[in-house]
Amino acid sequence: MKGKVLFGSLGLLCALYGCTVLSVIGTRALFNWFYLALGVLLMAIAVIWPGDREKGRKFRKTVSVTAAVLAAVFLLAEGYIASFAVRGPEAGADYVILLGTQMRASGPSVDFRARIEAAYDYLTENPGSMLIATGGRGGNEPVSEAEGARDYLVRKGISQDRIILEDRSTSTAENLEFSADLLRQRGEDPADLKIVIVSADYHLCRASYIAEKTGFGDVSCKGSHGLIILLPHFYTRDLAALLKEVVVYDVIPVFTGRPAVPVPAA
């Protein structure tokens, strides 16, 4: 009976949270449905939870152990991801790479504005650092994310001469790969530079991983804070995205024999 109550309660909480996520950020992205689907699954387990102690012993043990192991692995992984948010950036970076996100007709989204403000704080404290503003223009965006970030920072007093635009990318991997290409075009080796990546707290672990795979050497991060109510969703989503990146950068090359990121010409 305790299992029925536990899984039913957790399922209801997850379903309610899933509905909140969908109402705040919409239904278009498939992963936005994750917590609602998880809630339905947990409530289904509660419904079929056996009442007979003897007949249902194997079922209860299997489900309980599986759920406990998955929860422990999930919490450990999320703890590791969250640790990147508290490490803080190194001072005196050669370049700051600002990872773009949604631009709206009214300006940067709440999440993007927080990232830009974090980059502004770092640039103000480290006047010798240059900025690479990244992000292309999506179909529903008035300008590229890179341009939106530049315009915002210039209005706040950052010299345009300190800002380099990378305005072609459509993903985190491209943000960093194209930024590395820009640095090479300037005659600099990303492996020899001190880099600070600025993005949302939940995004820093994955961004650091991709940066390492892309050829950056000395990388630290500065995080920004988004809507608290959405943090469980974003942290869970980025864990799934990180697993995908591991497959792309580490697993697939083992079987294909080809690197995930093209080796730059000498």
Q: What is the pLDDT of residue 152?
A: 96
What three-state secondary structure class fits 186? coil
Domains of the chain, start order: 2-86 (no CATH), 88-256 (3.40.50.620)
> Model pTM?
0.89
Yes or no: say if 11 and 43 are a contact pair by the CB < 8 Å rule: yes
CA quadruple 117, 240, 89, 186: dihedral, nearest 10: -80
Q: Model confidence over 29-69: pLDDT tens digits? A: 999 999 999 999 999 999 998 877 776 788 888 999 999 99
Q: What is the pLDDT of residue 260?
A: 61
Q: What is the pLDDT of residue 51?
A: 76
β-strands 103-104, 107-108 pairing: antiparallel
Residue 121 neighbours by CB under 8 Å, 6+ apart: 222
Q: Model confidence over 227-240: pLDDT tens digits? A: 899 999 999 999 99
pLDDT along the chain (266 residues), means of 10: 88 97 92 97 93 78 93 96 93 97 91 96 97 92 94 96 95 95 95 97 96 93 92 96 90 77 44
